[in-house]
Structure 1
Amino acid sequence: MGHPFRFGVWVSLKLAGTLTRRIRLAYTVPVMRTPRTILALLPFAMLLSPAGSAFAQKRPPAIQMPKNGKMATIIRVGNLYSQADESSDRTGEVTPGRELVIVERSGNWLRVFANVDAPESRLSDQPVLEDTQEVQPISGWMVNKGVIDVDTPHGEQILFGEAISAENAASEPHPPPRAAQDARLLYRRVVEMFPQSPIVPEAMWRAADIRWQLQKADAATLPSAHEKESYLREQMDEDEMRKIIKYFPKTKFADFAAWDLIENQLCGDWQGSEKCPEKEAAIYLKYADEHPDSVRAPQALYLAAWRMASAGDMWAADGNNDRAKEDRSHTMGITDHLQQKYPQSEYSARASDLEFKIQQGIAVYGSDRE
């Protein structure tokens, strides 16, 4: 049976302008400052949400093309030589996705300037007055094999396909060295070398997500990963994700970027505090409301419901049955909305399971033994 919320205060407010502004207006109303009240009102707001209209997209600023040659990259590991001869001295090695500028051609040989391996700085870690030193490229001759330049027919498709292959390889149990980094750089070259290509938004998203996941894995190894407050944990750099939202709003890639950004707001370890699951539930509900057409929206609702149910179990364990009942009631309201709005989603079935456990008095968080 459904557990509808009461929305008297919400309904009495006149929503000025369009409904798409409803939640931002609501957040400024004093009566809605407590997390529990926001949690109660959000599902109703989501029922009013119209489908997001397509916003005009503006492309990221194009990078300046080199004046002394043609921008290029390579899809394999290439050796640099001092002369156009494989018997000459090797001066370096260029890995897939690195930036190249072709300045001269001689038969099957190219004289290039190449950016070689250099650590990427995190924007959030840079001092305000830092005098950033650009990586100095090295020059040399390389065989024209596997090189893609800005005039290569279907060049963006070739780079994108190679990047996907590298990304898939990186997900294997024993990935090749540099596979994830190679994939990221190849995606970035698609964006920079072919800025008008229709696959730029996806390439930009995939490059940003690989970086995000690598930083997330590193952050998980630190002692701070278990801190309760999110600001005490190592944060993933949000710059690239926010650019995707800026340049490609109301697209699935903006939805994906917004989903990743949630991770910087979550508690590292709840440490027995009901505040954490309640706060996180509000974050996921906000995502589902602002991105109703996202493939992540049903998951966001389920995660919100699960966290509210968990908070209810935590309140019950602390002897506060009134708060436990309140959070469990919120849970049922969220699951009802999930089942109505996304009935074909697997999370609708999981919501049914969650409802059944609550009705049966089975703990969602902690031990289910009696």
Structure 2
Amino acid sequence: MGNKIQLCAFFLLFTTVAAFSQKNTPPPDAAKATCVYPAKLYVEADESAARVATIQPGREMVVAERSGKWLRVFANTDVSIVHEQDVPVFGNEGNTPPVSGWLIDKGIVTAQTPHGDEILFGAAATMELQASEPHPPPGAALSARGLYRMVAELFPQSPRTPEAMWRAADIRWQLQKADAFSLPSAHEKEAYLREQIDESEMKKIIKLYPRSRWAALAAYDMIDNKICGDWQGSAKCPEKEAELFVKYADEYPDSPRAAQALYQAAWREASAGDMYQADQDDKKAEEARAKARDLSARLQSKYAQSDYAARAAGLVFMMEQKIPIYGSQEQ
């Protein structure tokens, strides 16, 4: 008997929550908002009422009504994934219906919140740092991404917005990259044979902020989609990749990644030299190594204070000592 009563109670609670969450739609003049901590969403403006959901930091919501310390909101509580379904806030909107409910007006940021852009950016930076720890809180990276996205959505004119857009896009990029490079297709030699990382947000940053630091960082990330998977002993792969990195350094000489790009190119040319040497093609081996030395010299000249200039010196030393570069972990 007790089990039947519990089942009936659960059914009534479920149907009440479902009906409440699906009724109505956000009013057209509702203010957009987000939260900086997990906010409990209730069926009614009462902490003893049934809970609809928990709104995670960075999730988008709109405030439809205020009543004392309570806000009635329509919140986007769908699971934030990182593929095409994860449409950026500063792009097109998804079609997932929001959930309606009441939450306490605490930790809620709107476009009218004083210093709201700083608050959201700081919360996002904290979550991003937590996501990089050995045992991160569940969903930390996605919460950080959501908070950065809301900086751009709520405060488009903020000085923080370009960097926030970049950080949001980069978090998504790195998560997608980890997925793509974990698949069997990641070992295919040709880049087009593996799953490509969505470039839409990176391209938008380059379009909105051309020649900026953030455009340069976006362009560097996108090289991931062009490099080979497994070189499979083919010197054409590192040589092609070296060209991509040199082209990047030429186009973005002031980029924070310019020195890194030149080192990546030098390392690949040196690796190609080892491959040609293994094939007993001494001429091509020397040509590739000469390119590696030239790129190292360019690093020493233009980016002398960077770690990559010192690493390039070590790369040249290894070549002179006839220590194999290909297969080393010195990228």
TM-score where L is the length of structure 2: 0.86
1:206 corresponds to 2:167: yes
Q: In 2 relative to 1, CA 119–170 (structure 1 residues): closer, same or farther, beyond 3 Å? A: closer
1:331 equivalent in alignment to 2:292: yes
Q: 2:198 aligns with which of 222, 227, 237?
A: 237
Deviations 1:5-62 (A, max 9, x none): xxxxxxxxxxxxxxxxxxxxxxxxxxxxxxxxxxxxxxxxxxxxxxxxxxxxxxxxxx
Equivalent of residue 342 in structure 1, options 303, 316, 328: 303
Amino acid at match of 2:72: R
Name which of 174, 177, 184 aligns with 1:223. 184
Instruction: Identify the match of residue 268 of structure 2 among 302, 307, 310.
Output: 307
Structure-1 residue corresponding to 2:131: 170
- In structure 2, relative to structure 1, the CA distance for the partners of 1:97 and 1:146 (3 Å cut) is same
Cα deviation code 1:110-159 (max 9, x no counterpart): 11111112354734999xxxxx9701011111111111111011111111
Runs of 4+ deviating beyond 3 Å: 118-126
- Aligned letter for 2:57? P
Q: CA deviation at 1:359?
A: 2.3
> What is the aligned partner in structure 2 of residue 186 from structure 1?
147
Q: Aligned runs of 1:75-90 on 2, under 5 Å?
A: 75-90=36-51
Larger relative contact order (C-alpha < 8 A, sep ≥ 6)? 1
Q: Which amino acid aligns with 1:194?
A: F
Match of 1:72 among 18, 21, 33: 33
Tell me the CA shift for residue 66 of structure 1.
Answer: 6.6
Q: Describe the superposition over 1:314-368 as per-residue Cα deviations: whole angstroms up to 9, x where unpaired.
A: 001011111111111111111111111111112111222222222232222248x
Alignment of 1:271 onto 2:232: yes
CA contact (8 A) 1:255 1:291 kept: yes
SS of match in other structure, 1:92? strand
Distance 1:150 1:362, change over 3 A: same
User: Percent identity of the aligned residues?
Assistant: 58
Aligned 8 A contact 1:124 1:237 in 2: no
Match of 2:83 in 1: 122
- CA offsets 1:69-93 (integer angstroms, 9 cap, x no match): 1111111111111211111122222
Task: Provide structure 1 residue ranges, at least 5 long, that are not aligned to the other structure.
Answer: 1-64, 127-131
> Which of 113, 128, 134 is residue 152 of structure 1 equivalent to?
113
CA contact (8 A) 2:82 2:176 kept: no
SS in 2 for 1:110: strand
- Contact 1:118–1:135 under 8 Å retained in 2: no
Tell me the distance in 2 between the aligned counterparts of 1:247 and 1:239: 12
- 2:16 aligned residue: none
Q: Kindly provide the CA deviation profile for residues 197-235 of structure 1, in whole angstroms up to 9, marking residues without a partner as x.
A: 011000000000000011111112211111111111111
SS in 1 for 2:319: helix
What TM-score do the two structures reach when normalised by structure 1?
Answer: 0.77
Do the aligned partners of residues 322 and 79 (structure 1) sit closer, same or farther apart at CA in structure 2, a change above 3 Å counting? same
Q: 2:237 aligns to what SS in structure 1?
A: helix
Q: 2:216 aligns with which of 252, 255, 267?
A: 255
Structure 2 residues without counterparts, runs of 5 or longer: 1-25, 88-92
8 Å CA contact 2:318, 2:325 repeated in 1: yes
Q: What residue number does 1:57 align with?
A: none
Give the secondary-structure state (helix, strand or coil) at the position aligned to 1:309.
helix
- The reply on whether 1:109 has 2:70 as its aligned counterpart is yes
Matches of 1:124 and 1:284 in 2, distance apart? 31
- Matched with 1:29 is none
2:286 is aligned with 1:320:
no
Decide which moves more: 353-362 or 187-196: 353-362
CA contact (8 A) 2:148 2:168 kept: yes
Distance 1:274 1:324 in 2: 10
Cα RMSD for the two superposed structures: 1.9
Quickly say closer, same or farther: Cα 1:121–1:181, change in 2 above 3 A. closer
User: How far apart are the structure 1 equivalents of 2:29 and 2:215?
Assistant: 36
